[in-house]
Every structure is written in C-alpha cells, then in structure tokens.
Structure 1
Amino acid sequence: MLEGCKTAQERWGGVHVIIDRWLDQRRQLVEMWTYLRERGDFTPTDTPSIQRFCELLVDYVSAGHFTVYEQLALEAKEFHDDGAVVLLNTLLPLVDESTQIVLEFHDKYDTKQHCNSQLEALPFSLQALTLVMMERFQYEDQLIEELHEAHSEESA
C-alpha cells in the first residue's frame, strides 16, 4: 500500500499544490497505518498512536471532500470536459460510500476511552478499513489521472 502511495505521488505530484498536499497526507496516513498493522497486539500504551491515525484518516478524507474533489470538479468544468464531469459523477458516489466506514472507524477509536475499550477488535477493524481505503485510493487515483490527462491534452 505504501508503494502505491509513492507511485501516485510520483505520477501526479506536480499537477497542483492542493493535490500535492493531499497526496502527502495520504503518504503520512499510510505510514501510520503500516506502523499500526505491524504492531499486532495492542495495549493502552498504543492509544496515542491510534488516535493520531484517526486524526490523519479524518483529515485526509475531509481534504478530499472539501478541497480536492471540488478543485477537480472546477477544473473539469473550466476545461469543458464532459467526460471528466461524468467520471466525477460516477466515482464520487463510490468514494462517498467509504466515507461512512471511515467515520465509523473514527468514532470507534477516536478517544482514549473508546480506543481502550475496543483494542481487541482493532486488528480486524484495520483490516476491514484497509480493503475499503485501497478501493477508495484507486477511485481517487483514477479521478486524478483522468482529469489530469484531459487537462494536459487540452492545455497542450
């Protein structure tokens, strides 16, 4: 998953400052995720790391919804690219489906009390979240790639 994150940043890193920052947030999220998944058994001493992961997760998802997707939609409209608009309208609902799962994970582990009462379930929750987020990353990458390609060709 970390390698895919690096590849995405290499492919689209210079497209736009907003996307650069967002892909950097993704990298940080995936690094923390990898750290947690490698931990195995969790104890209350892991709670700050888990809470940090929750914070990174919600920040990443929020930046996508409230900044990146809006910017991509504006660019698609600016370039009068009906295909990009159709793609946005197709993929964003799929991305939105994962948002609810992210918020449920966050609510389950966001506070010390919540986290400590659910430590045994954390490895399973992380695994389920991994599957959802890998799919989400693919949709997001497709949005960036398709919109970037359309805009690059039009501006050339």
Structure 2
Amino acid sequence: MLSQQEELQQKWGGRSSAIDQWLEARKTLLIHYCALAKPDNNATIAQRESDIVEFCNLLMDYLSAGHFEIYDMLISDDASGQRLREQSYPKLSRTTDFALRFQDRYAVQVSPSHTIDFTADLAELGETLETRFALEDKLIDHMLAHYGDNQIQHIHQQRADAR
C-alpha cells in the first residue's frame, strides 16, 4: 500500500495543495499502520499503547479531512459526478464506521483483554483502509478528469475562503 501511495503522489502531486496535503496525511497514516502491524514479540500491547493512540488520532484526522474538507470538492455537479457520489458515499461511510469502531476500542486505553483481538482488528482495518483508499482514488481521478488545474485551484480557494 505504501509504494502505491508514493506512485499516486507522483501522479497527482502539485495539482492541488489540498489533495497534496491529504495524500501526505494518508502516507503518514500508512507509515504508522505498518509500524503497528509489524510484529514486535518483545512488546506487549500495553507497551505499544502510545503508538496505538497516536495512530488512532491520525486515523480520525484523516477520516475527518475526507468527509469535511475533501470529498465535496472532488465531485462535479454533472451526472457522472452525481452517480459517483451515489456509488461511493455509502461505501465510504461503511469504511468510516469500521474505523470509528476501531478508534473507540483502542484510542483511549488499551487493556490486556484487547491483546487477543488487536492483531485481527488491525488486519481488518488495513483491508478497510485499502477499500477506502481505492474509493477515494476514484474520486480524485474524477476531479482531475473533469476539472482543469486552474479550475481545481479556484474551487479549493473558494472552499478555503468559505471557512
């Protein structure tokens, strides 16, 4: 996933500062995910608690940016954009729901009872994130196919000014 992410950043980089920042946040999230997924037989889950909490915080920041800052600017108002929205948003919501359940379980305090489930939950989260990233990539492809670079920057500026 990480090498694919770097390829996407090279492909799409520089066209939109908002997308660049979002993809950089995705890369950071993936790096932390990989660090957690790497087995460390000498460390207990309790000893990794700060890493888990940090990952959960990054996950929430990433999810929030997508839902509240990025998605709407990726969809055009034409028929193909509306179809993409109808197809993608319910699937994105399901990935968000799973990530929120993961965050609720592990972000505040990791208990010894979580040890057994953590590895399986993290693996399932990885699959969920892979699904989410593929959906998000379709949204980005749509934006880049339907808007020119100047129009993309204008849309981003309008949204920034509205905040």
TM-score w.r.t. structure 2 length?
0.83
1:28-67 residue pairs with structure 2 within 5 A? 28-41=28-41, 42-43=43-44, 44-67=46-69
Q: Given the alignment of the two structures, is residue 14 of structure 1 paired with residue 14 of structure 2, yes or no? A: yes
How far residue 152 of structure 1 moved from its aligned partner, in angstroms, is: 3.1
How far residue 40 of structure 1 moved from its aligned partner, in angstroms, is: 4.3
Query: Among residues 145, 149, 155, which one is paired with 1:149 in the alignment?
Result: 145
Q: Given the alignment of the two structures, is residue 5 of structure 1 paired with residue 5 of structure 2, yes or no? A: yes
Distance 1:118 1:67, change over 3 A: same
Partner of 1:98: 95
Is the Cα contact below 8 Å between 2:25 and 2:62 reproduced in 1? yes
**Amino acid across the alignment from 1:8:** L
Q: Given the alignment of the two structures, is residue 83 of structure 1 paired with residue 80 of structure 2, yes or no? A: yes
Is the Cα contact below 8 Å between 2:56 and 2:107 reproduced in 1? yes
Partner of 2:126: 130
How far residue 115 of structure 1 moved from its aligned partner, in angstroms, is: 4.7
Distance 1:126 1:22, change over 3 A: same
Q: Given the alignment of the two structures, is residue 111 of structure 1 paired with residue 113 of structure 2, yes or no? A: no
Is the Cα contact below 8 Å between 1:40 and 1:123 reproduced in 2? no
Relative to its length, the structure with more helix (as a share) is: 1
- Cα distance in 1 for partners of 2:31, 2:96 equals 20
SS of the residue corresponding to residue 45 of structure 1 reads: coil
User: What is the Cα-based RMSD across aligned positions, in Å?
Assistant: 1.9
SS of the residue corresponding to residue 147 of structure 2 reads: helix
- Cα distance in 1 for partners of 2:93, 2:8 equals 20
Structure 1: stretches of 5+ with no match in the other structure: none
Partner of 2:27: 27
**Amino acid across the alignment from 1:143:** L
Distance 1:142 1:115, change over 3 A: farther
Percent identity for Structure 1 against Structure 2: 30
How many residues get paired? 149
**Amino acid across the alignment from 2:108:** T
Distance 1:115 1:138, change over 3 A: farther
Is the Cα contact below 8 Å between 2:33 and 2:55 reproduced in 1? yes
How far residue 86 of structure 1 moved from its aligned partner, in angstroms, is: 1.8
Which segments of structure 1 move beyond 3 Å, counting only runs of 4 or more? 114-117
Structure 2: stretches of 5+ with no match in the other structure: 152-163
SS of the residue corresponding to residue 146 of structure 1 reads: helix
Listed one character per residue, the Cα deviations across residues 132-151 of structure 1 (whole Å, up to 9, x for unaligned) are 11011000001101221121
How far residue 15 of structure 1 moved from its aligned partner, in angstroms, is: 2.3
